[in-house]
Amino acid sequence: MRFPSMTALRALDAVARSGSVSVAARELNLTRSAISHQISKLEECVGFALTERIGRGIGLTYQGERYAREVHGILLNLLDAGHLVGDQEVSGRLCVSCAPGFATYFLCHHIGAFLRQFPQVQLQLISPRTPDDTHNQNADLFIAYGIGDWPEMIVEEIVALRFFPVCSPRLINALSGLKSPQELSNYPLLHMTDYSDWRVWLTAAGASGVNAMSGILFSDAHCAQSACIAGQGIAIGDNLISGDALSKGLLVRPFDIGIDLHRGYYLAADPQKAERPVVKAFSNWVKTQLQSSHQTWQDTL
């Protein structure tokens, strides 16, 4: 039995992930011809075609795609094996792509605890192009925002979002309380990105007389919530963005009416990467931290 060379397996893996011989060559610091030669040698070893000509480029055959998936899983296992010292030790490289809202209002407040628990992990946090983007090949795990529709990935919801008005207790005291949603027409509304959240909430609350497009429009949630905490107006928050501020008394809910968003934050990973010990460890840690935080927040949500 003749085993394939590691260089040939890595060449196939790089071509399969990038879809390009040129990109694979740059990744492995080889020439294009060397990549092609390694794949040809691998085809001789396995006994079937791995690639086929598509126009002026190449693509993987059906058998090639199946074989490449197996190879990718084996390479990840080898990487993990090199870092594992004992059965209980989690180590190695972990790249997490995290939606900005989750990173700002939760992950950045707790991430040190993960490294204290798993000091051998080489952790990298990156931001996606959009909160629902799960296409970065360098990421091992995604914390993505959306409805959970990411085909061919292992997906698990970790935060179901619900939104509601929030404001500074100082502002509420100055107003002597808000008795009904209709009274919102007398105060600045703070908007995050667009006017849709206030429009939906005011409709659900029956406050048709309030102009949903009044007030201040901010380009991101962080600015809107900072202004809200400073008593500059009333914003629409949710159980993640506003959870910590509510539990600390920096914000209060002037009304009990809340609306389910039917969107939330999810863990998403390629099925092979999802089996890596370091990915499992981080996923379990995030869920445990969220459960602990929810218990702290629940009296104010």
Q: pLDDT per residue over 121-143, tens digit each?
A: 999 999 999 889 999 989 999 99
- pTM equals 0.65
pLDDT digits (tens, 9 = 90+) for 14-27: 888 888 888 888 88
User: pLDDT value at position 86?
Assistant: 45
Domain segments of the chain as ranges: 6-83, 92-159+263-297, 161-260
Q: Tell me, what's the pLDDT at 85?
A: 43
- Which residue from 281, 291, 288, 299 is spatially nearest to 120, judged by alpha carbons? 281
> Can 92-159+263-297 and 161-260 be said to share one CATH topology?
yes
Query: What is the chain's mean pLDDT, rounded?
Result: 86
Take residue 51 and report the two structure tokens written for it: 């690639």
| Third-level CATH fold of 92-159+263-297 | D-Maltodextrin-Binding Protein; domain 2 (3.40.190)
Quick one: pLDDT at residue 176? Answer: 73
Interval 51-62: pLDDT, tens: 888 877 788 888
Range 243-269 average pLDDT: 90
pLDDT of 79 > 70? The answer is no
- The band of 111, judged by pLDDT with boundaries at 50, 70 and 90, is very high
Q: What is the pLDDT of residue 96?
A: 97
* CA–CA gap between residue 225 and residue 167 (Å, rounded): 9
Angle at the Cα of 275 (from 12 to 270), degrees rounded to 5? 55
User: Phi and psi for 216 in degrees, rounded to 5?
Assistant: -120, 130
- If one compares 165 and 179, the residue with the highest pLDDT of the two is 165
CATH of domain 161-260: 3.40.190.10
Tell me the mean pLDDT in the region 222-233. 92
Q: What is the mean pLDDT of residues 271-281?
A: 91
Residue 300 has pLDDT above 60, yes or no: no
**Secondary structure of the chain in the HEC alphabet?**
CCCCCHHHHHHHHHHHHHCCHHHHHHHHCCCHHHHHHHHHHHHHHHCCCCEEEECCEEEECHHHHHHHHHHHHHHHHHHHHHHCCCCCCCCEEEEEEECHHHHHHHHHHHHHHHHHHCCCEEEEEECCCCCCCCCCCCCCEEEEEECCCCCCCEEEEEEEEEEEEEECHHHHHHHCCCCCHHHHHHCCEEEECCCHHHHHHHHHHCCCCCCCCCCEEECCHHHHHHHHHCCCCEEEEECCCCHHHHHCCCCECCCCCCEEEEEEEEEEECHHHHCCHHHHHHHHHHHHHHHHHHHHHCCCC
CATH of domain 6-83: 1.10.10.10
pLDDT band with cut points at 50, 70 and 90 for residue 293: confident
Q: What is the largest CA-CA distance in the chain?
A: 83
pLDDT confidence of residue 143:
96
List pLDDT tens digits, range 179-208: 899 999 888 999 988 898 999 999 999 998
